[in-house]
Amino acid sequence: MFAWSRIVEIVLLGALYGIIPAVANKITNCEEFELGARFNPYEIMDSMWKIFYSWANTTEITPIIFSLPAKNRVNRLKILVETVDPTLDLEWHKITLIMQPRKGLTVLFLYATTPGAFRAVVILERYTKGMMCCEDLTAYALARIDEIPTTEEDCLSAAAKFNIDLPDGHSYLYVHKLADEL
């Protein structure tokens, strides 16, 4: 548990019973939130977490898993990020924690200025699979229905990752277009 939780409880109880005046329309900023906060990443390992309350327009509804940054996993994520955006200059040595709210979504927490302050980098991974029939030299690129590329350019980009050099490659969008023209 965060060290500041007890202070928050005291402040909330004090405001509730009139000991500390509650300020209407006061918005907490990051500096106030991290004031006095101490965070130990080891305290949240080996458990699944669930958001039970949020102050946001969107939230994760699935359990969240936190892990420490294993070298091989960080290297895999580094290759992924630098392939997608080579201009993103991350300080990879500052990764303190990795959060995975769901498959395909990873959040890297990079140590910022004070204990408990982090810079979050969100990585959305799209999963595609390739398969090839060696007997007739045909190949296919597959994606989950909810992750399928929606433009011809996206299809070409995703298919290019498999480095398949065969003639007559085309997307499902091209096939739909041909079918519509018939």
List, for residues 70-117, the tens digit of each pLDDT value: 999 999 888 888 887 788 888 888 888 898 888 888 888 888 777 667
For residue 1, name the pLDDT band (cuts at 50, 70, 90): very low
Integer Cα distance of 10 and 36 in angstroms:
14
Three-class secondary structure of residue 66 per DSSP = strand
pLDDT at residue 9 above 90?
Answer: no
| Count of structural domains, the chain | 3
Tell whether 119 and 54 lie within a shared domain: yes
For residue 25, name the pLDDT band (cuts at 50, 70, 90): low
Tell whether 50 and 91 lie within a shared domain: yes
Tell whether 44 and 120 lie within a shared domain: yes
Integer Cα distance of 49 and 132 in angstroms:
40
Tell whether 51 and 88 lie within a shared domain: yes
Q: What is the DSSP letter of 90?
A: -
For residue 62, name the pLDDT band (cuts at 50, 70, 90): confident
**Which of 45, 51, 50, 4 is CA-nearest to residue 28?**
4
Tell whether 54 and 100 lie within a shared domain: yes
Q: Is residue 98 exposed (0-12), middle (13-18) or buried (19+ Cβ within 10 Å)?
A: buried
Report the relative pairing of strands 105-111 and 128-133 from DSSP bridges.
Answer: unpaired
* Parent domain of 52: 40-124
Tell whether 46 and 85 lie within a shared domain: yes
- pLDDT at site 44: 82
The CA distances from residue 138 to 104, 135, 147, 168, in Å, are 28, 8, 23, 10
Per-residue pLDDT tens digits for 113-166: 776 677 888 887 766 777 777 767 788 888 877 788 899 998 888 888 877 888
pLDDT at residue 7 above 60?
Answer: no
The two tokens of residue 147 are 């992750």
Last residue of a domain, one of 124, 141, 161: 124
Q: Is residue 75 exposed (0-12), middle (13-18) or buried (19+ Cβ within 10 Å)?
A: exposed
pLDDT at residue 174 above 90?
Answer: no
pTM over 0.75? The answer is no
Tell whether 16 and 86 lie within a shared domain: no
Tell whether 133 and 110 lie within a shared domain: no
Tell whether 100 and 168 lie within a shared domain: no
Tell whether 57 and 119 lie within a shared domain: yes
